[in-house]
Amino acid sequence: MTSSGAISHYHDLIHQHSLAHDSWELLSARMEERHMFFGERLLCTVLRPLMYTPAEWRYLTTRTELVLRVFDRLAQVMLENAGLRAQAGVTPEEEYLIHMDHGYRTPIPTARLDSFYAQNVDGRRTLTFVEFNGESPTSMAYSDVLSDLFLELPVMQAFAERYALRPLPSKKPALDEFLRVYSEWRGNRHKLPDIAIVDWHGVPTTSEFELFAEYFAENGIAAVICAPDEMEFRRGQLYANGTPVDFVYKRVLITELLRKYGLAHPIIEALEARAICVVNPFTCKLLHKKASFAIVSDERNAHLLTEAEREAVRAHIPWTRIVAERTTLDPAGNRIDLLPWVSANRERLVLKPNDEYGGKGVHIGWETDQTAWDAALATAGHEPTIIQERAQIAYEEFPALSDDGRVVVARRLVDVDPFLFHGERVQGCLCRLSSETLLNVTAGGGSVVPVFVVEEN
């Protein structure tokens, strides 16, 4: 059974003009009230959530958790293997941070695996992961609030007369994981953390920090939002904009922190002194680098994985290599010279910087002419970059209101990104939509929608 029947019924409802118009007016008003913006744009621009049947969601969850276990073990192996860290392009400063004791076991308390979960003509699903967001995954709070807002909509209430709706919360699992690692860091002595949410002022996700601070307060936890330059460490205590804190929810990216401060930042000083608990820890950098996909899919590292892990990689991780002058196996298992092969096969490949985000520096081979592709490939030889085989992209039809008030159903690319906790489990999911191949809200387009499991009453 697929979700197509539920989607068809929803679209029948949304074409009732009053339902569509009233639902959009309520949704847009509620998003403004809750500051549901990415920068200055409303976070959601369509009138339907993503829907999965229980079986579809169960498959996505179980296969994601299988792949997650591969990456969790890879992080442990990379901590002990300097050769693998070199493959990943770990810098000397990152080496120092990675080997700092952060006081708890898991290198990835929170994370996100970004995927395409495509439905084929015969109804079967194809699941392909394209990136591991291991550093500061966004949208856990956004997705929860959007779920709440959608449940208020007249069209959703009409839909619920026929279908049961189950939201997929992630804020509570995130807080549970923060408290778990904080307790481990403190040695199980009971105390609620004093939290600093740290990122640059003016980043487009600022409104999500506010949602998290509000949620923490509802649970009796004090939180302050501050920029990295508003922190200081003195007499064994870390201060965030003058407030003492012992837990850092680090939303600022490690690369950006190092670029501005090197190793001379109060967060690093406080961590060295065991004065703070940091989420995510600096070890997350090992998996956050896009080269982690190359490491698990490269034949020279196959001996590090069990057969079950190799099967999971073959099933769900696209062929990925670090750009370099070398021989390797192509996706069909043939021995090739990598750079000439990449030049000749651009229409099936994507070029990605190893350590960027928001779509920066990404070259989509089938949308790039040969001259520009070869120029990007030449530049990639001087900067850590990966090449990745084209994944089967997922598409669905989503309704929205046009400027003149008509319901327009249009085809969107669908990016499904399960939230991961403690390196073990999936709870909640981000869904991003776009009409462009580069599916990234940070890059300037797209929409976020909540995800629901639906089942006919």
Instruction: State whether 150 and 82 are in the same domain.
Output: yes
369-371-375-378 Cα dihedral, nearest 10 degrees: 110
- List the structure tokens of 105: 């076991």
Same domain, yes or no: 28 and 159: yes
Last residue of a domain, one of 389, 409, 434: 389
- Return the DSSP state at 266: H
- pTM here? 0.93
Q: Which residues neighbour 363 within 8 Å (Cβ) at sequence distance 6 or greater?
A: 350, 351, 372, 373, 376
Cα–Cα distance between 98 and 407 in angstroms, integer? 51
- Sign for the CA dihedral angle at 410, 411, 413, 419 comes to positive
Query: Do both 206 and 349 map to the same domain?
Result: no
- φ, ψ for residue 19, nearest 5 deg: -65, -45
User: Measured between alpha carbons, how far is 288 from 99 in angstroms, rounded to an integer?
Assistant: 16
Q: Are strands 277-279 and 247-250 parallel, antiparallel or unpaired?
A: parallel
CA separation, residue 399 to residues 242, 310, 361, 405 (Å): 47, 40, 31, 12
Q: Do the Cβ atoms of 420 and 110 come closer than 8 Å?
A: yes
Residue at a domain's end among 389, 414, 434: 389
The helix (run of H) or strand (run of E) holding residue 247 is: strand 247-250
Task: Extract the tokens encoding 422.
Answer: 């403690």
Residue 97 sits in the same domain as residue 235? yes
Neighbour count for residue 406 (Cβ, 10 Å) = 11
Element (H, E) at 115: strand 110-119
Same domain, 416 and 385: no
Task: Please tell me whether residues 255 and 379 are part of one structural domain.
Answer: no
Pair 192, 63 in one domain: yes
Give the domain extent around 383: 288-389
Give the position of tokens 């509570």: 172
Distance CA 406, CA 366 (A): 33
Q: What is the pLDDT of residue 437?
A: 57
For residue 171, what are the CA distances in angstroms to 38, 138, 421?
A: 18, 11, 11
Q: Do residues 231 and 238 lie in contact, with contact meaning Cβ atoms separated by under 8 Å?
A: yes
Same domain, 255 and 404: yes
Q: In total, how many domains does the chain have?
A: 2
pLDDT in tens, the chain (457 residues): 578 899 999 999 999 879 999 999 999 999 999 989 888 889 999 999 999 999 999 999 999 999 999 999 999 999 999 999 999 999 999 999 999 999 999 999 999 999 999 988 787 889 999 999 999 899 999 999 999 999 999 999 999 999 999 999 999 999 999 999 999 999 877 799 999 999 999 999 999 999 999 999 999 999 999 999 999 999 999 999 999 999 999 999 999 999 999 999 999 999 999 999 999 999 999 999 999 999 999 999 999 999 999 999 999 999 999 999 999 999 999 999 999 999 999 999 999 999 877 678 899 999 999 999 999 999 987 889 999 999 999 999 999 999 888 999 999 999 999 999 998 999 999 999 998 755 443 444 579 999 999 999 9
- Amino acid in the structure at residue 112: R
Q: In 10 A of CB 255, how many CB atoms?
A: 18
Q: Residue 63's closest CA among 291, 412, 258, 313?
A: 313
Question: What confidence score (pLDDT) does residue 105 get?
Answer: 92
Give the pLDDT score at 444.
40
Q: What stretches of 122-170 show up as alpha helix (H) in DSSP? A: 140-151, 154-159
Among 338, 357, 389, the domain boundary falls at 389
Same domain? 381 vs 403: no
The Cα 55–Cα 66 span in angstroms is 17
25 and 131 belong to one structural domain: yes
Question: What H or E segment, with its residue span, contains residue 338?
Answer: helix 338-344
Q: What phi and psi values does residue 41 have, to the nearest 5 degrees?
A: -100, 140
Residues 110 and 46 in one domain: yes
d(CA 134, CA 223): 23
Between CA 103 and CA 107 the distance in angstroms is 10
Does residue 218 sit in the same domain as residue 141?
yes
